[in-house]
Amino acid sequence: MNIAQKIAKESTITFSGMVYGNINRYLYTALLARWVGVEFLGVYSLANAIMIIGEVVAKMGLETGVMRFVSRLESNTHKYQMQEIIQSSLKMTIVFSITITILLSAFAWVLTSIFRGTLLLYYTIIVFAFTIPFNSITMVAAFATQGYKLLKYKVFTTQFLNPTVLLVSMVIFYWFISEESAIILPMSVTGVLGSITMLLILKKVSGVKLMGVLSSPFDGQLLAYSIPLMLVTILQTFMHWMDIIMLGYFTDASVVGLYHPAARTAGLLQALLISFISIYAPMISQLHGNGDFREMSRLYKLVSRWLLTFSIPVSLIFIFYPAKVMLLFGPDYMESASVLVILTIATFLQTILGAAGPILSMSGYTRLVFWNSLGAFILNLVLNIIFIPKFGIIGAAWSTLISLTALGLARIIEVQLLLKLSFCSSRLYKPLLAGLVTSFCILSIRSFVMVYHTIVTLSIVVLFSILIYGFVLWFLKLEPEDKDFWSGLIILRKRKGTKTIMNIARYEE
């Protein structure tokens, strides 16, 4: 397969998993919103934000570091060197994550008082802190398998297994124990099962064993590369959850509960970005290592265009029908409709400009990536401090839009100046024109479909949007790479079943 077909195949595997995973997480959030109410959902959101930030520190950027270091080696000739890198990354993750768990548990009462929370928030933070080592190990192990340019294992664990366990266990705890247990316990059950599964898979892929992990020394070179990325990820995670944290500080858990569903919905667009980046990043790393800047430029333009193409239809639905989308969570969340519009625009811009970020990090500009993230973080923090007291959840949404746009623009400018690579191409007009036509069409039927039930309205709009958008793109004619992309999908579709999944690696060798 050529590069477009490989991207199509691997990104489709990732996207399929993320669609399933996001549907489960979306359903999880929607059921919690309806069953436990706004305040309890706010408690969950705050504790979840604290846990995720703790995980970022615990991983120390090692998930990206191990992927980059492993992806640059050949599995046939550097098997033991790859094992040493993976073992060292896992050992460092275990040590750091246990340390973070102890610290979070010790200071849980301080965090509870900062957010003016109840005992429920305190206990939730404690239990979520216990989950951090398991989640951190899962992610580092998953990225290690990604370094072999295999995405199926990471997708299976993080997008199929974990979301399913999370949703099912939440329903069981809610119906058979209590509302409080439905908030607190599912995360830990998911973390334990996910880490066990991922470690067993990693052993199969790389031959890494537990005793090798425990006896492995710290890899100073790996850690030195990863720490700047850890700082970047901390800042990006803070930015992602800054709205929740600052709303919790300036307002209360109920306001956080109103904001969370809109943020979760707009965040669905990130599935596209992550799906492409998962295979795109190790490819860029390999091309940069070989000095093939011409192919890097072509791949950069190609992925940027595909990100724009696939993100437009979803964004239009969230922007033009936000009230109907928020009704999925219940009537109490209708006032978050305007928040959904702003956050959708923010996530849309983040997605279409997102291909520049991996180029900087995979090309070795980790310090520049850090300074970019630091600048965006400070901007987001200042804007939240100014806007939230005055405008509430609308102010939080505008802070995110402005800071994400600034970060995306900075990255594409730096890639242009440092590596002489541009994401712009004359072919971008096709998805943009198709988007304009689709916008006009779905707005023209708005008065007719809004009277129906929420599910019916959204079903009609989704179908109408996809058909119109797809027809216009077809009318404007597909590019040769687009045909290769669809050929990759056909290859994937024809080779169904277990045998296909186990043989995907052969295409990459």
Confidence of residue 75 (pLDDT cuts 50, 70, 90): low
365 domain-assigned: yes
Does 438 fall in a domain? no
| CA angle at 217 for the pair 213 and 220, rounded to the nearest 5° | 125
The sign of the torsion formed by the CA atoms of 70, 308, 470, 442 equals positive
- For 324-367, give the DSSP string: HHHGGG-GGGGGGHHHHHHHHHHHHHHHHTTTHHHHHHHTT-HH
Contact 127, 185 (CB under 8 A): yes
Give per-residue pLDDT as tens, 446-457: 888 888 888 899
Which of these, 15, 493, 11, lies nearest to 282 by C-alpha position? 11
Kindly report the average pLDDT of the chain as a whole number: 81
Task: Tell me the mean pLDDT in the region 387-408.
Answer: 91
Residue 341: what pLDDT?
A: 94
341 vs 28 pLDDT, higher one = 341
> In angstroms, how far is the first alpha carbon of the chain from the final one?
11
Is 96 a member of any domain? yes
Mapped onto helix, strand or coil, the DSSP state of residue 496 is coil
Residue pLDDT, tens place only, 466-498: 899 989 988 887 766 665 555 544 444 454 443
Task: Grade residue 500 by pLDDT with cuts at 50, 70 and 90.
Answer: very low
Asked, for residue 384, whether it belongs to a domain, the answer is yes
- Of residues 13 and 217, more confidence is placed in 217
Question: How many Å apart are CA 19 and CA 3, to the nearest integer?
Answer: 23
Tell me, what's the pLDDT at 13? 64
d(CA 297, CA 2): 16
The domain in which residue 140 lies consists of 3-424+478-508
Q: Is 97 part of any domain? A: yes
How does DSSP classify residue 427? G
pLDDT in tens, 268-286: 777 777 666 666 766 777 6
Confidence at residue 7, expressed as pLDDT on a 0 to 100 scale: 60
The residue with greater pLDDT, 62 or 312, is: 312
pLDDT of residue 486: 56
Which tops the pLDDT comparison, 137 or 478? 137
Strands (E), 354-410: none
C-alpha–C-alpha distance, residues 174 and 185, integer Å: 10
Residue 426 has pLDDT above 80, yes or no: no
Per residue in 173-231, pLDDT (tens digit) is 999 998 888 889 999 999 999 999 989 988 888 878 777 787 787 777 777 777 776 77
Contact at 8 Å (CB) between 135 and 195? yes
pLDDT of residue 22: 74
Is the separation of the CB atoms in 155 and 13 below 8 Å?
Answer: yes
Q: Does residue 267 lie within any of the structural domains? A: yes
Please state, in angstroms and rounded to a whole number, the distance separating the CA atoms of residues 333 and 253.
14
**Assigned domain for 448 exists:** no
- Rg (C-alpha) for the chain, rounded Å, is 22
- Name which residue leads in pLDDT, 295 or 403: 403
Q: What is the widest separation between alpha-carbon atoms in the chain?
A: 67
Region 368-388 average pLDDT: 88
Reported as a pLDDT band with limits 50, 70 and 90, residue 9 is low
Instruction: Give the pLDDT of residue 321.
Output: 92
Q: Where is average pLDDT lowest: 25-29, 148-152, 175-179, 494-498?
A: 494-498
Per-residue pLDDT, averaged over 12-33, amounts to 76
Residue 218, helix vs strand vs coil: coil
- Between 289 and 66, the more confident residue is 66
Q: Which residue has the higher pLDDT, 94 or 240?
A: 94
Confidence at residue 192, expressed as pLDDT on a 0 to 100 scale: 94
Task: Please compute the mean of the pLDDT values over residues 312-316 and round it to a whole number.
Answer: 90
Q: Is residue 430's pLDDT more than 80?
A: yes
Domain tally for the chain? 1
Question: Is residue 1 pLDDT above 60, yes or no?
Answer: no
Number of H helices, E strands in the chain: 24, 0
Determine which helix (DSSP H) or strand (DSSP E) holds 428, and give its type and residue range. none
Report the amino acid identity of residue 265: T
Residue 254 burial (10 A CB sphere; 0-12, 13-18, 19+)? middle
- Return phi, psi of residue 130, to 5°: -60, -25
Angle at 234 between CA 229 and CA 239, to 5 degrees: 125
Q: pLDDT confidence of 134, banded at 50, 70, 90?
A: very high
